Structure 1
Amino acid sequence: MSENHTTSHEGENHGSYGSYIVGFVLAVILTVASFAAVLSKAFSFWQTIAVLGVLAAVQMVVHLIFFLHMGVKSASQRQNLYAFIVTALMVAIVIIGYLFVLWDAQANMMPG
């Protein structure tokens, strides 16, 4: 005996094929740009790291907007966006605190 369960997503924006195509094309372009930045050796090591960081941040925003549908258009999107921002801040605090503790411990180590 099977029951049909249907879920209604009234009022939610789940994107269109066009928006998925735009997001996919942007993600591919950003990925190719990352590989090109490394393989071309046009930048110094630290410049390459900076370029990759910027490209990664832009690609993360593309994924959040086009695939995860985070925005401010509806209440559901705003709640998802706020939850993501709080989570990202918590992760950043943990990582920065971890790096600070390690740096402080290394700086205070007595020479052997």
Structure 2
Amino acid sequence: MSAHSIHEEESHGSVGSYLVGFVLAVVLTAASFWLVLHGGFARETALIGLGVLAVVQIVVHLVFFLHMNASSSQRWNVTAFSYTVLTVLILVIGTLWVMHNVTMNMMSR
């Protein structure tokens, strides 16, 4: 059994898909820099725009570079990633909630 036969089932990207992912990543990064450096937007609009661009950039990296998709061979990777995202969200939201409550209780005294 050769070393290459072990990875035959895994879907590795082609040069074209890597180039598409790279171009999308560069365009999204340039758009983020332009949004910040342009300065013509309200603060809230710029933050929402940066958030949207960041989420799209994450999806581009997951699809084109980490090859995560809905195929059955990727099911465990997607499940592990989803669990990680859920854990991080619980940790961040819980921390913000606790810090908000601490601030509110300390300010009332």
TM-score (norm 2): 0.91
Higher normalized helix content (fraction of residues): 2
Q: 2:91 aligned with 1:91, yes or no? A: no
Q: Which has the higher contact order (CA 8 A, sep 6+)?
A: 2
Q: 2:42 corresponds to which letter in structure 1? A: S
How many residues align? The count is 107
Q: What corresponds to 2:102 in structure 1?
A: 105
Q: Which runs of 5+ in 2 are unaligned?
A: none
Aligned residues: percent identity? 53
> Are 1:80 and 2:77 counterparts?
yes
Identify unmatched segments of 5+ residues in structure 1: none
1:70 and 1:80 in contact (8 A); partners too: yes
Query: Are 1:72 and 1:78, in contact at CA under 8 Å, matched by a contact in 2?
Result: yes
2: distance between equivalents of 1:59 and 1:78?
Answer: 21
Runs of 4+ with >3 A deviation: none
TM-score norm. by structure 1 comes to: 0.89
Over aligned residue pairs, what C-alpha RMSD do you find?
1.6
State the alpha-carbon separation in 2 of the partners of residues 72 and 106 from structure 1. Answer: 43
